């Protein structure tokens, strides 16, 4: 029995998910590391340590005013690394604004990942080359794009799978419903991965859905719903891998709810002390996914202290190199914002365009 089959056969737990231990993982009854080779586990560990360093550095950039905004995924690295490694390089990712670590794990250049948050362009990488859609800010619209691409691939006989990332708040959006319904009816090869980090910005889960669990919503669309411990990278890897292979075999989409916690605020512009009880984040930090995997690998003899220190040093070096590369100013054309949206600019935008062109010309930057 696969993780997917075991999870869908088990009843979902009732009641709110608390800081722990996380009660949401029916697949946890099986050895989490089963079927994942040690070198693969080490790869996950390295990617999570580097992802943590990236979150730390990007948050620093936002505080220095070098990024317009940054939504940290500290505490959610297991969801992002485990899922990105569970699919093939030719499969497509449909990320939200919080999936920067998943994009890094896919191999996208970190400066290109941050381009959106600096405001240089809507996307810093080539989506077709990377098989990764631009990071999506509107809630749940990427779910429709994932379902459409996956269905088109199915009809063309192309064996690719679309992995759509969603936050818990986005499951209350109409686009989420339409995408899951469409994908289920069309048996489109999509994996919908919900990272339930407990808050839709400032709204706790219990105040934005009456569903017993988010995985329960799958039943309404006629697809399997799986609830896993999102702070266990091996559970995430197995659940997404099994769901992707099930989709690739023609059995349609799966909804996975990964229960986790956003340690940092929603973004650097958010004050989480206004809506989160004091000490709550500290309780969840005790289940930190990076520390947890490190402890497991040390106990299993897959990792030793010297190797862990070496990986930490490499992550620090990665962050230092990123800081140096990010000090270069953006080279984009400011007039780009007026192109490719309207064939004929409305009068107010035409006026703004002309004023900006005049200012650039006065500064010697015009055409």
pLDDT in tens, 318-332: 999 999 998 888 777
Tell me what pLDDT residue 364 has: 77
Tell me whether residue 71 is exposed, middle or buried, using C-beta atoms within 10 angstroms of its C-beta: 0 to 12, 13 to 18, 19 or more.
buried
Tell me what pLDDT residue 32 has: 52
Tell me what pLDDT residue 319 has: 97
Q: Which of 266, 276, 340, 350 is catalytic?
A: 266
Tell me what pLDDT residue 178 has: 98
Q: Which of 88, 251, 275, 276 is catalytic?
A: 275
User: For strand 203-204 and strand 199-200, is the pairing parallel, antiparallel, or unpaired?
Assistant: antiparallel
Neighbours of 359 (CB within 10 A): 12
Tell me what pLDDT residue 191 has: 98
Residue 276 structure tokens:
């989160």
Tell me what pLDDT residue 23 has: 33
**pTM, to two decimals:** 0.87
Given a cut of 50, the residues of the chain with pLDDT beneath it are 1-31
Tell me what pLDDT residue 96 has: 97
Tell me what pLDDT residue 34 has: 63
Residue 209 structure tokens:
């859905």
Neighbours of 245 (CB within 10 A): 18
Tell me what pLDDT residue 28 has: 38
Tell me what pLDDT residue 333 has: 84
Does 266 qualify as catalytic in the annotation?
yes
Place of tokens 């939200």: 96
Tell me what pLDDT residue 31 has: 46
| Beta-carbon contacts of residue 316 (< 8 Å; ≥ 6 apart) | 53
Q: Which of 98, 238, 241, 262 is catalytic?
A: 262
Residue 326 structure tokens:
């990010």
């Amino acid at each position: 029995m696969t993780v997917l089959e075991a999870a869908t056969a088990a009843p979902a737990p009732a009641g709110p998910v608390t800081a722990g231990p996380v009660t949401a993982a029916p697949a946890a009854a099986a050895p989490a590391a089963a079927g994942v080779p040690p070198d693969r586990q080490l790869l996950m560990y390295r990617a999570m340590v580097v992802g943590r360093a990236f979150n730390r550095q990007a948050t620093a950039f936002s505080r220095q005013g070098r990024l317009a905004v940054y939504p940290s995924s500290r505490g959610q690295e297991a969801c992002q690394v485990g899922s990105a490694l569970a699919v093939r390089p030719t499969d497509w990712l449909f990320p939200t604004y919080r999936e920067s670590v998943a994009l890094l794990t896919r191999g996208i250049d970190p400066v290109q990942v941050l381009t959106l948050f600096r405001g240089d362009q809507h996307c810093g990488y080539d989506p077709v080359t990377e098989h990764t859609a631009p990071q999506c800010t509107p809630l749940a619209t990427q779910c429709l794009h994932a379902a459409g691409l996956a269905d088109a691939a199915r009809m063309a006989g192309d064996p690719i799978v679309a992995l759509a990332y969603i936050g818990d708040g986005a499951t209350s959006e109409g686009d989420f419903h339409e995408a899951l319904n469409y994908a289920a009816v069309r048996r489109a090869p999509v994996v919908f991965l919900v990272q339930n980090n407990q808050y839709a910005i400032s709204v706790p889960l219990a105040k934005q859905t009456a569903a017993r669990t988010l995985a329960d919503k799958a039943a309404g669309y006629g697809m399997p719903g799986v609830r896993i411990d999102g702070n266990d990278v091996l559970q995430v890897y197995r659940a997404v891998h099994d769901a992707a292979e099930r989709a690739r075999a023609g059995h349609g989409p799966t909804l996975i709810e990964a229960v986790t916690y956003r340690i940092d605020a929603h973004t650097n512009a958010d004050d989480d002390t206004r809506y989160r009880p004091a000490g709550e984040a500290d309780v969840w930090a005790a289940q930190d996914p990076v520390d947890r995997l490190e402890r497991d690998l040390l106990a299993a003899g897959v990792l030793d202290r010297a190797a862990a220190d070496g990986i930490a040093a490499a992550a620090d070096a990665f962050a230092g190199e990123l800081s140096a590369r990010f000090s270069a100013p953006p080279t984009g054309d400011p007039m780009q914002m007026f192109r490719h949206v309207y064939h004929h600019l409305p009068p107010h935008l035409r006026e703004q365009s002309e004023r900006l062109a005049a200012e650039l010309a006065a500064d010697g930057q015009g055409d």
